[in-house]
Structure 1
């Protein structure tokens, strides 16, 4: 059938291939070497230099807080890039499952549900990519243009690089600025494409649960002899057809559960770092609000805090939606005409209900459940850390 579902990830995987974390089936030695070099220089080494820079920072709390805000973002991007490299096989297996016969359909209503999930994935990528590219352009390219045109002092877009001696600042200004610009742009692209890729695979999982919900409500529609007496051939044929359909639904539910398990295995570390660093970023943003700064910096800080909050909230929101849809299976199964069916059908129905009583969930690092309750806990912990820092600052 070709790429029926995963073609909505074409743009994600193309960009990640350019960034060196998603090679083709048989990558050339040249691609392997260049991609590894790119990831090391602009992702791994980038964070190492950033970490080293803290030792040379001036002993000013507001400067230290500003550097920490971007530092957690860069650590998050590093974790996403490395996870995609080392857990690539699980991601490929996940995509193969989406193209398996179990997840395909010829029913127009079910195809419409899948198409809707694909459109939602593309919509979130366009919104996220548009906002991120615009913000990155303002942060990286606009200061350079202003510097060239109006001869304004050029500030580094991300990190101060305080370890560079003052007498060599003029020499390293443009190379360091270019290095930071490429690094922060690649990190932005990692964040955009991996975050929206995660949302996309979750949208398709929820679409499969919607399809399963529809199938269960109509699982007895194959029974055409509604008035057939018990023990008759027509009654037995209807029962056999109904049993075959409920078994298909059980296999479909098992496949969706296995697919969501693959999502967790592939993105567990990413989600753990996302939630951990998200809490730290929000805390440091709140803490920086308590210190003096220019108005334009407070505007930036406000927008950055909102974006970081949404970065944590959006996957938690759809994680809750996934739990709700999987829990709905236990109710939709009773909407079919199950009472006149045979004992074997009812046994299989009860088996499906027992399995569905444990909702499908996704966890980050086997600790954080992807749900709105986790988002609330993260916001509470951010505020608790903030009050602790304020208390230490006032002493």
Structure 2
């Protein structure tokens, strides 16, 4: 083939390789040690320090709520990084399947469907990366530049380490600021590239379902002797060709099903943490709106809630699209000229319909179905938790 489906993930995997969670086939010993040190210091240890910091926080509800908002975010980034490390074989198998023979095509229309999915994947990456890098720059680098030029007091980009005594705060200011800056930047890059990687593999799955839909509607086009009498040699050849084509479609559907099962296995933990922490983040943001703060902080909270809502809604939306496209397979098979075909062809057709009657779904943690219904449930849960907190606060 003159194209590769997985080349749309080249930039994702390159950045994840730099961040130490996606090594090459035979990584050097130096890369192995450096990547492990980087992930431990700026991902695992980062979360541990943040967790310990809660014990030393001032007993003020608004401060505790603010810290929880970012805490759920870094927990999500940690789960994504560790998933790519420990489930690397599943991700690699998923990419290998995209380059397997069953997912390749020489038909210009089918190639166009795949190219469209690849373009959509890169479009979402560019949008997400652009917004995330801009926000991270404004949050991390801009305050440091303003501090250097105008001698404005430097505030930490994530949280103040309350366990550091005030007399040592000036000594640890710049090292702690650098550590938090690298940590939050790496977490932002994990979120951007892994989230858009999930969308990309889902786009390619939907493209394969569109290709299968197209093949099924034209599966009997191989029959050239339409008016051949039953029992003739020409009719037998047409029936044999039609059977071979429907068997190819069954194998294609099986491959798409296995591929989507791999997506579920690889992203199950990530989706579980994403949905669980997403509900908590939206709840804490809503609760923080009820507490006093500066106007700038309310603007930040508004934007943050919008971003967190989209982070949950977008995969749920395309999860629903995947279910919808897989459900349409049962209608596509009856769009071909199947009535005059032989009994063997109809038996294979019936087998495909029975398998396609159960739509392809993706679940997170074997609990959350990737669909708009789940998104609605998450938003309802977030609001329910918010009302519970408000009730407890008013007592």
What TM-score do you get using the length of structure 2 for normalisation? 0.99
Look up the match of 1:259.
259
Look up the match of 1:347.
347
Secondary structure, aligned partner of 1:292? coil
Q: 1:83 Cα shift?
A: 0.3
Look up the match of 1:378.
378
- 2:181 paired with 1:181: yes
Look up the match of 1:362.
362
Q: 1:2 Cα shift?
A: 7.0
- 2:66 paired with 1:66: yes
- Deviation digits for residues 341-372 of structure 1 (CA, Å, limit 9, x no counterpart): 00100000000000000000000000000000
Separation (CA, whole Å) in 2 of partners of 1:300 and 1:138: 12
- 2:244 paired with 1:232: no
Secondary structure, aligned partner of 1:291? coil
Separation (CA, whole Å) in 2 of partners of 1:178 and 1:3: 42
Look up the match of 2:137.
137
Count of residue correspondences:
395
Determine if contact 1:147/1:153 at 8 Å carries over to the other structure. Answer: yes
Look up the match of 1:299.
299
- Deviation digits for residues 141-195 of structure 1 (CA, Å, limit 9, x no counterpart): 1111111111111110001111110000000000000000000000000000000
Alignment of 1:70-109 (within 5 A): 70-109=70-109
Q: 1:3 Cα shift?
A: 5.8
Q: 1:20 Cα shift?
A: 0.1
Determine if contact 1:3/1:99 at 8 Å carries over to the other structure. Answer: no
Look up the match of 2:244.
244
- Deviation digits for residues 61-94 of structure 1 (CA, Å, limit 9, x no counterpart): 0000000000000000000000000000000000
Separation (CA, whole Å) in 1 of partners of 2:213 and 2:360: 14
Q: 1:376 Cα shift?
A: 0.2
Distance 1:238 1:309, change over 3 A: same
Separation (CA, whole Å) in 1 of partners of 2:328 and 2:101: 24
- 2:103 paired with 1:110: no
- Deviation digits for residues 48-67 of structure 1 (CA, Å, limit 9, x no counterpart): 00000000000000000000
Look up the match of 1:208.
208
Look up the match of 1:325.
325
Separation (CA, whole Å) in 2 of partners of 1:140 and 1:163: 22
- Deviation digits for residues 192-214 of structure 1 (CA, Å, limit 9, x no counterpart): 00000000000000000000000
Look up the match of 2:198.
198
Secondary structure, aligned partner of 1:221? helix
RMSD: 0.6
Separation (CA, whole Å) in 2 of partners of 1:154 and 1:347: 72
Separation (CA, whole Å) in 2 of partners of 1:145 and 1:290: 32
- Deviation digits for residues 301-326 of structure 1 (CA, Å, limit 9, x no counterpart): 00000000000000000000000000
Q: 1:215 Cα shift?
A: 0.1
Q: 1:133 Cα shift?
A: 0.1
